[in-house]
Amino acid sequence: MATNITKIFLVLNSGSSSEKFSLYEGEDEVCSLYFEGIEENGKKKFICTITRADGSEEKVDKTWDTLDVAFKEAKAIFEKEGFINEAHPLDGILVRVVAAGKYFSKNHIVDAQTMKELEKVQVTNPLHVPGTERGIKNAQETFAGVPVLIMSDSEALTKDSRRDTEYALPREIIEEFDLGRWGAHGASYGYMMGKIKDLGILEKKMVVCHLGSGCSVTALVDGEPAYTSMGETPLEGLMSSTRTGSIDPTVGALLGEKLGAAEAIKLMNKQSGLQALAGSNDMREIIAGAEEGNEDAALAYNMFIDGVAGKIGEFAAKMGGIDAIVFTATIGERSIPVRNSIIGKLEFMGFKLKNDAAMDKSKGYTNVAEEGSKPVYVIPTNEAAYMIKKASELLDA
C-alpha cells in the first residue's frame, strides 16, 4: 500500500519539566505547543507558548499548577485552532524512545508488550524512560482510540552494515541486560542517509557529525552505517552540552557506589560535559569566553574540538579513508568557528574550508570546502520528517 503523505501526526517530546507537542500534516509542521515551568512569586507555574507555521508565537493567557494538564490543554487548543476536528482527525501520536535493547531498535505501535519492555529498560535508561511512559499514558488517555507509536532513536543505525555493535563483556552479562552499541540520534542519521542520496552527493566513505546539545558521529560506507560513536546509551562517545562522553568505566562504577546508579547516571548525563567545564552549555558563550581569555571556556572548547576531530580520525582509520564530511544539527549547521576548528585539524586528510563558509539555505545544503578540497557539506537535519515517514510506513503496513 502506498504511504499517505497527508496523515496528521502529533509528535511528543516529554522532558522532566516540559512538554512539547508538534502537529504535522504530512511532513509540514503546522503548529507546536510548548509547556514549560516558570517561577512566579516563589511559586512554580507552567505556561504554554503556541508557535504557528509562519513562525509567529503567542503565550496562552493562563497558567497551570501541574504539567499533567498539558495533554488536555493541548487537545483543546488544537481543536479551538481548527487543526484537529472530525474532518481532520489525528492519524497517530509519535513518541521518540531513547532506550536500548533489541525491542527498542525497531519502531512499534504501542501495546501491552511495549509497556513491559519499557519497565525492563528502566535500569539502563532511568532518565529517559519515565518521561516516555508518562507521554504514552497521557496520550492514550487524552486521545483515546488514536494509535500511539514509539519511534526508536536507534532504528536507522541497527543495520547489518554496522561493524561495532558488540561489547567485550561475558556473554551471559550481555544477554541478561540485552547490551549492545545501539547508537542514538537515529532519526537524524536516517534522515541524512536519505537526503545525501536524494541530493546526489553520496560518496563511498562519509562521516556525518551531528553536533547539537547532544553530539555524535557516524561513519557511512556506501550510504549505510558502519560505525557510530554512541553506544548502549547516548552517554558513550563525544562529550556534549551536559554529558561526559566516554570516560574510564571505573569512574562510573565509583560514582555508582557513592551516589547510587540512577544518580550517577544523572550526574554524567545532566551535570557534566561543557556545562561542568565552562559553566555554560551554550557553544556561543563558550567561544566568546575563550576569545576573552577565559581558561575554563578555552579548555571546554578545545576538548570538544579534539573529541570530534579525534572521532573522525578514528573512523577514517577504520574505513581506510574518508571521501566527504557532513555537519548537521544546531552547532554543526550554525557554528562556523566549530567547523573551522575541526576541519583545521584534518587538512592532512585533504579537507580545507572556505574562509566565508556560511550556510546557503537555497539548495538545502552547502559545500563549504575550499576548491580542491574533498567536500565538506552542511545539511540541515529534519528528525521529525524521518519519524513521520517511518510512522506512515508502519501504519500502512
Q: Show pLDDT as tens, one digit a residue, over the chain (397 residues).
A: 344 458 999 999 877 678 899 999 988 999 999 998 887 777 788 899 999 999 899 998 778 888 888 999 999 999 998 999 888 899 999 999 987 789 999 999 999 999 999 988 887 777 778 888 888 999 999 999 999 999 999 999 999 999 999 999 999 999 999 999 999 999 999 999 999 999 999 999 999 999 999 999 999 999 999 999 999 999 999 999 999 999 999 999 999 999 999 899 999 999 999 999 999 999 999 999 999 999 999 999 999 999 999 999 999 999 999 999 999 999 999 999 999 999 999 999 999 998 765 656 667 899 999 999 999 999 999 999 999 999 999 999 7
Distance (Å, whole) CA 353 – CA 136: 45
28 is catalytic: no
| pLDDT score of 2 | 44
Long-range contacts of 268-273 (CB under 8 A, 24+ apart): 268/235, 268/243, 268/244, 269/127, 269/234, 269/235, 269/242, 269/243, 269/244, 270/127, 270/242, 271/242, 272/239, 272/242, 272/243, 272/244, 273/239, 273/240, 273/241, 273/242, 273/243, 273/244, 273/245
Helices in the chain by DSSP H: which ranges? 70-80, 112-120, 129-142, 171-177, 186-198, 249-259, 261-270, 273-278, 283-291, 295-319, 329-334, 336-344, 383-396
Rg (CA), the chain: 21
| pLDDT score of 359 | 59
Nearest residue to 310 via CA among 346, 336, 275, 283: 346
Domains and CATH numbers, the chain: 8-152 (3.30.420.40), 201-383 (3.30.420.40)
Distance (Å, whole) CA 134 – CA 279: 31
Cα 70 to Cα 91, 95, 135, 139: the distances in Å are 20, 15, 10, 10
| pLDDT score of 1 | 39
DSSP 93: E
Give every CB contact of residue 280 below 8 A, 6+ residues apart in sequence.
274, 286, 289, 297
Which entry of 28, 65, 153, 164 is annotated as an active-site residue? 153
Nearest residue to 312 via CA among 247, 203, 202, 227: 227
| pLDDT score of 151 | 95
Nearest residue to 79 via CA among 36, 133, 33: 33
